[in-house]
A and B are shown apart, each in its own frame.
Chain A
Amino acid sequence: MSPYAAKLAFRHLLSHPGQTALLITGVTLGVTVFIFMSALIGGLASLLTLRTVGSIPHIILERPDRDPAILSEAPNVQVITQKDLSRREQIAIWQPAIPIISQTPGVTAFSPQIRGAAFLERGQAIASVGIIGVEPGKLSAMADIDRAIIGGSSSLPPDGILVGSRLAKDLGLVVGQVVRLSSDRGRIRSFRIGGIFELGIASADRQAVYMNFTTARALFDLPTGISRIEIKVEPAIDAPNIAAVLRRSTGLKATAWTEDNAQLFEGLDAQARTGTIIKAFALITIVIGIASAMLLSIIRRQSEIGIMRAMGASKTLVVSIFVLEGTLIGLAGAIAGAALAWLALAPMPPVSEVQSGGLPIDQAQGDFLLAILLTTVAAALASVLPARRASRIDPVEAIGS
């Protein structure tokens, strides 16, 4: 690329400010759409993932299924195996797993839990609930109950429980009220409603009841064992790999959240593809816009090109001038578009604070540099064909016209 080509390209763009501004504006809008779509699709994926995995454990460790050992290896013997389903589901010896879990890379939080079913009775009214007994300080390790409290407090004294907002509404429960819980082990105890939470997840708000770990032990006749260990990992998407690691290191059954949320993944994937298509169309629009503008410019400047060729300008010089013009338009439009998108997206709240109905736009996922790079390269490529056409202009014909 010779300095002279650069001078002529710049000079032409600056000599026609209106036309140049129009072209750059077109590219700017295309790039803004590109970045906006990237930020929106990325933000939407983040929001859905956050909403889905934010309140659920990413990995659940449970007692492994015990397949009966097959003792006979004789051929031609039909063997029927049946799992022992009459034993209680519990992790009897769980303490050794705790240091292993806490040292596993990616694990950010874990919570050993006592789980069981119970009936919650208030006078004649009755509701079936799922009890979650959590260790002190681990209440918000999985779902952020502390932040979801809408009445009372989140502390869990031995006789206190936390209930969800829907359950509270169904049974007319208020903070301080005393209710009875009868567990599926036949134990019955009275509790005081210490707080009411609202996670925004219907099943949890209707059925989950949190209580003190030790109280839950008594209620479910589990003096030493626990039901499960719930784990959070970062990033959530790595859960399957981390689950595999934990399966090997603890010998427990590890289930990642992704196994139960395949549909979400399909949805996110389809959404990402839609985004890619829209971005591709934005780029194609830019390419077509620049290519047609360059082509028109070349037709208009035919005699100029002819005279330059007649006076000894090489084909390379002519190609360089037009490719450079297209590239400069692309670069200027890309930078302006990125700046415009940045300014437009800056006031958007972070995805985690988006209210329902608001657009979850994640500025960080705006692909600013990619947009600038792709647009500039696309603009250069869009100018190549018109530029080659310009270089093939016959000076004699061009001057004659």
Chain B
Amino acid sequence: MARVLKGIDLAIDYGEMAALLGPSGSGKSTLLTILGTLMRASGGSHEMLGIDLINASEKQRTEFRSRHLGFVFQFHHLLPDLTALENVMMPAASAAGRETSAMRHRAAELLNAVGLADRRDYRPNALSGGQRQRVAVARSLINEPVLVLADEPTGNLDLASADKVMELIRRINEATKTSFLISTHDEHIATQCLRRIELFDGRIAD
């Protein structure tokens, strides 16, 4: 097995908004995948909120993921059969096994916050690329996560839409103290974050 990450020592604080930069193959996606508990690190330690995530069972990791983490991907990955509102509710409803009116209320608030209140009943194929990504951002926040991991969230958007999404993320970060770790190639995006973490060949560059 090739070692993708080497000697990473990284702590993210509450309310931080950090950009994760680095060329392709530098290990950005692997780091996000491990932090997102979608993959187990082969060694070292990975703790969050005081919980040892390396030695946790798969079920505990799934629960942790659904309760404390949010995800935004380069492709929006919205469920095509669900409306914008239902997509935002999806992570919460999946965990609870049902949709509740509280979820519906919170999802509507989030859609309002991302400026899509009037698109709540639209399905993804009726939304523009930027709108879909904003729905995806709203979805990442439904469970009130402490950390949102965003993998090239603007990689698929034109400049205007990308700025809108970043502006949205910054506002949410300030308002809710949710931490964001945003992987990107784009210097322009990185400058909008308060902290820069640069990965090079699996190591954090000084």
Contacts and interface: CB of A to CB of B under 8 A. Distances in A.
A399 B143 CA distance: 20
A312 B66 contact: yes
B134 interface: no
A15 interface: yes
A7 B62 CA distance: 22
Contacts of A308: 79, 90, 94
B136 to A, nearest CB: 10
A5, A15, A311, A317, most chain B CB atoms within 10 A: A311
A395 interface: yes
Contacts of B93: 4
A304 B79 CA distance: 6
A314 B80 CA distance: 20
B73 to A, nearest CB: 6
A395 B96 contact: no
B174 interface: no
B98 interface: yes
Contacts of B77: 303-304, 306-307, 399
Nearest to A13: B81
Interface in A259-306: 303-304, 306
A3 B97 CA distance: 6
A310 interface: yes
Contacts, number: 68
Interface in A306-345: 306-314, 317
B180 interface: no
A185 interface: no
Interface residues of B, number: 29
Contact of A312 (B75, B80, B81, B95): B95
A304 B80 contact: yes
Interface in B57-104: 59, 62-63, 65-67, 71, 73, 75, 77, 79-82, 90-91, 93-99
A314 B98 CA distance: 13
Given A2-B98, A396-B33, A8 B63 contact: no
B12 interface: no
Given A12-B81, A304-B79, A396-B38, A312 B62 contact: yes
A11 interface: yes
B38 A313 contact: no
Main secondary structure of the interface of A (DSSP, over half): helix
A307 B77 CA distance: 7
Given A3-B98, A4-B94, A311-B66, A396 B39 contact: yes
A385 B48 CA distance: 36
Contacts of A317: 94, 97
A12 B79 CA distance: 10
A11 B79 CA distance: 11
30 contacts: A2-B98, A3-B99, A4-B93, A4-B96, A4-B97, A4-B99, A8-B81, A8-B82, A11-B82, A12-B81, A15-B81, A303-B77, A304-B77, A304-B80, A306-B77, A307-B73, A309-B62, A310-B65, A310-B71, A311-B65, A311-B66, A311-B91, A311-B94, A312-B62, A312-B95, A313-B66, A313-B91, A314-B94, A395-B38, A396-B33
The 5 closest A-B pairs by CB, nearest first: A312-B66, A2-B97, A313-B94, A311-B91, A15-B81
